[in-house]
Amino acid sequence: MANFFDETLVSPLSRCELDELSAVAHSFTDDEGREVVQLDDMIFVVDELSTRGFSGRKWTNGKLYYAFSSNVDQTNRTRFRAACAEWSNVADLEFIERTNQQNYVYVKSASTNSSYCGMIGGPQRMNIYNWRWKFIIAHELGHALGLAHEQCRNDRDSFVEINEANIIDGKEHNFDIRNTRTYSAYDFASIMHYGRKAFSKNNLPTIEGRPGYEDQEPYMGNRRYMTALDAAGMASHYGAP
Ligand SMILES: [Zn+2]
């Protein structure tokens, strides 16, 4: 199951942990003047890390508001809404185009994919590059709804092995375990799981299944369909549709 943050599980990062994170992750000031750190495609507000840790806030009443940048054309707006429907079909979620709401996702066409984790308050940018991949957009929406990457679960070492030697130098932090709560079975096929060769510097696997789970390896990095566990996890987080 994807990595769901529980509102009741708040694990603030210490100053020392924040410094360590800032040293390895990309730190910058966002459009709204917030200090943020980016871990791969996930963006966290530093103030929230020091109060809530990686536990992203849920969207109030399951309503996620969004607005499109003028650089998103009609075709891609339709694609975005189709990705939203994948989540609203499986959980008590509504995706609503913003009128004057304060908290919303600002969807932009960009050269990479990225999203804030959870509802952070105020406008929060979502960059989309892979418009033709519905489940890459759904992956970014997963972050906006509060999910982190599946292989960062606390229990992941029972299921996968991380091959540090094959990871691009400086990208190892993307494979660190994050203090998050999980609800069900580890899901190799989750749309929130990295692929087998994510951040590989030598085309050798960076993530492998532990003995007994080798047959799951081909499913890692799936962006072609939402799994039953992705669906069940979101339903447990926001309620059934
Ligand atoms: Zn991601």
pLDDT digits (tens, 9 = 90+) for 7-45: 555 678 888 888 888 888 899 999 999 999 999 999 999
Catalytic hit among 48, 140, 150, 208: 140
Is 17 assigned a catalytic role? Answer: no
- Stretch among 9-13, 58-62, 151-155, 195-199 having the lowest mean pLDDT: 9-13
pLDDT digits (tens, 9 = 90+) for 184-234: 789 999 999 999 999 999 999 999 999 999 999 999 999 999 999 999 999
8 A C-beta contact, residue 53 and residue 11:
yes
Multiple choice CATH, 150-238, 3.40.30.10, 3.40.605.10, 3.30.1490.100, 3.40.390.10: 3.40.390.10
Residue ranges per structural domain of the chain: 150-238
Strand order in the sheet with 26-29: 26-29, 35-39, 42-45, 114-116, 123-128, 104-109, 63-68, 94-97
User: What DSSP character marks residue 38?
Assistant: E
- Contact criterion met (CB below 8 Å) for 24 and 170: yes
Residue 5 confidence class, pLDDT cut points 50, 70, 90? very low
* pLDDT at site 3: 45
For residue 149, how far is its CA from the centre of ligand 1 (angstroms)? 6
Query: Distance, CA 54 to ligand 1 centroid (Å)?
Result: 14
pLDDT bin (cut points 50, 70, 90) of residue 179 is: low
Q: Output the CA 212–ligand 1 centroid distance in Å.
A: 26
Query: Residue 9: its pLDDT value, please?
Result: 55
Tokens standing for 29? 């000031």
The pLDDT of residue 22 is 83
> Distance between CA atoms of 54 and 74, rounded to whole angstroms?
34
Please tell me the distance between residue 82's alpha carbon and the centre of ligand 1 in angstroms: 19
- ipTM at complex level: 1.00
